[in-house]
Amino acid sequence: MTLLKIARMGHPVLQGPAEEIADPTAPELRLLVRDMLETMEDAGGTGLAAPQVHVPRRLVLFFVSPSPGAPDGIPLTVLVNPEIVPLDRESALGWEGCLSVPGLIGEVPRHTRIRYRGLGLDGATIEREAHDYHARVVQHEVDHLDGILYPQRMQDLGRLIFESEQRHLSRSETERGEAE
């Protein structure tokens, strides 16, 4: 297995649409996924898109850890040529980070309910409905395939901060809420 170099914001591979994959069962794709998984785990990520490792192809992988909204979590999922359809107009703001934008987090609006569809490495269709954090993760990763990084989705760049400052922000927002 190989750790892959992660492209950072500003690199051309992150700025344009990725190419569709003709054969999701190709052996070289399995090798890429294996290396992407190792790279994601090493970096402590929840998801990774092929353009983030300098491969401009429509491939993402992600998982969602168990949480109150998803008690079982979502197991590692690999999607080839994924598509997303919002299920309603409702959106919510949430904090996001990105391996291609290291050290920063931003508050990003995302659809709260989506349906996504793609192919697995066996060529079978994967189709699921997702909500809340699961939906956020999928939208974030698929954005990479269209050359979009989360800061481009932000409504208020004043909410783009260093990760190390989030604890201060959370504390000051809590104190401000208690004072009102």
Residue 87: which of 116, 108, 65 has the closest Cα?
Answer: 116
Task: Name the catalytic one among 38, 141, 165, 173.
Answer: 141
- Give catalytic status of residue 141 as yes or no: yes
| Residues 6 or more apart whose Cβ sits within 8 Å of residue 92 | 109, 110, 112, 132
Burial degree of 70 (CB within 10 A; 0-12, 13-18, 19+): middle
Q: Which residue has the tokens 């500003």?
A: 10
Q: Name residue 124's amino acid.
A: A
C-alpha span between 143 and 158 (Å, rounded): 22
Strands 74-86 and 91-97: unpaired
Q: Which residue has the tokens 């401009």?
A: 56
C-alpha span between 106 and 156 (Å, rounded): 9
Q: What SS3 state is found at 128?
A: strand
Please identify every residue annotated as catalytic. 141
